[in-house]
Amino acid sequence: MITIFCGEDSVAARTAFTQTVEKYRLNQSEIIFVQSSSILEISKGMAENLSLFSSQKVFCVENLEKYSFKKSTKAKKDLVYEAIVALSLDKTVTILDFEDGKQGRQLKLKDLVKVHESKPATSIFKLLDDCFPGNKLTFIASLRTVCSSQDEMFVFVMLFRHIRHLVLSLADESSAKLPPWQKYKIIGQAKKWKNQALIDFYSGLIKIEISSKTSSNPYGIKKSLEILACHYL
């Protein structure tokens, strides 16, 4: 059995992965951390010969989907893919995989495994929608609500991506991967901004990102976003 932990909220996905590993550990399972390249060895028998005090073995891996494999066809079998299929059907083997930065719909193995997807709280989408001039107090209130339950860096990344889409829409360069309804929504929100103000707001986000990475931000992410909002919203 294989369970993949993933989702846009990578912090929550990582937490869920870690908590599940710990739950197995408390149940006297033998926890083994392996590389994704060890999947063939697991299928060939690493799961056998439990240690004296363990009820089962639990293999923990990260980014299994990055390991080189292709879905098997009638004409050509892929050994790695076949190993994953076999393990996904084997109830005596437990594999926990954390996929960093992937959503459930992006998983190549989603039809074979159990997927535990961590999605952003609804309130964070309200925060993104609240980001436009004349809406400063509402935006800051939403920001404080979201940051009380979400990692600040995650909130920043979500806002950064959203504002980038708004900026791209000014040049009619919105991502082709976005569904039509989301494109129309982004264009509508971008129209609430003066072009230069939106570009300056985005530049401010870039400065926050740089200062956070270089540990030169004296205010922290949430406070920096509040200050930025006071200038442009």
**Which pLDDT score, from 0 to 100, does residue 205 have?**
96
**Which pLDDT score, from 0 to 100, does residue 5 have?**
96
Contact yes or no for 43/137 (Cβ under 8 A): no
CA 49 from chain centre, in angstroms, equals: 35
**Which pLDDT score, from 0 to 100, does residue 172 have?**
75
**Which pLDDT score, from 0 to 100, does residue 177 have?**
67
117 to each of 86, 101, 165, 181, 201, how far by Cα in Å?
23, 11, 24, 23, 31
Segments of the chain with pLDDT less than 70:
45-55, 173-177
Domains along the chain with CATH numbers: 2-117 (3.40.50.300), 122-232 (1.20.272)
Return the residue matching tokens 């976003």: 225
Q: What is the 3-state secondary structure (H, E, C) of the chain?
A: CEEEEECCCHHHHHHHHHHHHHHHHHCCCEEEECCHHHHHHHHHHHCCCCCCCCCCEEEEEECHHHCCCCCCCCCCCCHHHHHHHHHHHCCCCEEEEECCCCCHHHCCCCCCCEEEECCCCHHHHHHHHCCCCCCHHHHHHHHHHHHCCCCHHHHHHHHHHHHHHHHHHHCCCCCCCCCHHHHHHHHHHHCCCCHHHHHHHHHHHHHHHHHHHCCCCCCCHHHHHHHHHHHHC
- Residue 113's nearest CA partner among 230, 1, 228 is 1
Q: Quick one: residue 133, left, alpha or beta (phi over 0 = left, psi -120 to 50 = alpha)? A: beta
- Residue 153's nearest CA partner among 77, 93, 205, 230 is 205
Return the residue matching tokens 């990475």: 213
Q: What is the pTM of this model?
A: 0.63
Contact yes or no for 140/128 (Cβ under 8 A): no
